[in-house]
């Protein structure tokens, strides 16, 4: 079956540091890939997505590229801010599954001033 693996946290960075959160997946088909973010006390919010190989999703300075050859979708940001502190979830899903998603375990990011 499908699965998503992402690096365990917490990841602690200083403000303006470079961020990478690794995500790899196994899939039986050709899924879309997603990054969701959960700020304290809030629900998961879609951060970015990519629907096919070599697509790059980007939003709010974050980006991730759908790498079929390495089955990866690593999340990156060049300069993190304190407000980026949250839990980040990598996920995959299929168009015909009606938004049913397979999630990674989540990575907590803590950014210190």
Partner 1 sequence: GAVVSQHPSWVICKSGTSVKIECRSLDFQATTMFWYRQFPKQSLMLMATSNEGSKATYEQGVEKDKFLINHASLTLSTLTVTSAHPEDSSFYICSARSSGRVTTNTEAFFGQGTRLTVV
Answer yes or no whether residue 99 interacts with partner 1 by CB under 8 A.
yes
Q: Could you give phi then psi for residue 32, rounded to 5 degrees?
A: -90, 150
Q: Decide whether 17 or 106 has the Cβ nearer to partner 1.
A: 106
Q: How many binding residues for partner 1 (CB under 8 A)? A: 25
- Figure out which of the listed residues 15, 83, 95, 112 binds partner 1, where binding follows CB under 8 A: 95
Q: Decide whether 1 or 113 has the Cβ nearer to partner 1.
A: 1
Residue pair 102/29 in contact by the 8 Å Cβ criterion: no
- Figure out which of the listed residues 25, 36, 62, 66 binds partner 1, where binding follows CB under 8 A: 36
Q: Could you give phi then psi for residue 84, rounded to 5 degrees?
A: -80, -5
The region of 16-24, 32-40, 58-66, 68-76 touching partner 1 under the rule CB under 8 A is 32-40
Tell which positions 63-82 bind partner 1, by CB under 8 A. Answer: none
Write out the E strands in 1-113.
3-6, 11-14, 19-21, 23-26, 32-38, 44-50, 56-59, 62-65, 75-77, 86-93, 101-103, 107-112
Cis peptide before 10 (omega within 30 of 0): yes
Q: Which residues of this chain interact with partner 1, rule CB under 8 A? A: 4, 8, 32, 36, 38, 41-46, 51, 89, 93, 95-96, 98-106
């Amino acid at each position: 079956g499908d699965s998503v693996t992402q690096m365990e946290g917490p990841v602690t960075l200083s403000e303006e540091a470079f961020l990478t959160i690794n995500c790899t997946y196994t899939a039986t088909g050709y899924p879309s890939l997603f990054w969701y973010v959960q700020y304290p006390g809030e629900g998961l919010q879609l951060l970015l997505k990519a629907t096919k190989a070599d697509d790059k999703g980007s939003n709010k300075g974050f980006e991730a590229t759908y790498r079929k050859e390495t089955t990866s979708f690593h999340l990156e940001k060049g300069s993190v801010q304190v407000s980026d502190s949250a839990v980040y979830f990598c996920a995959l899903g299929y168009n015909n599954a009606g938004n049913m998603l397979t999630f990674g375990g989540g990575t907590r990011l803590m950014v210190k001033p």
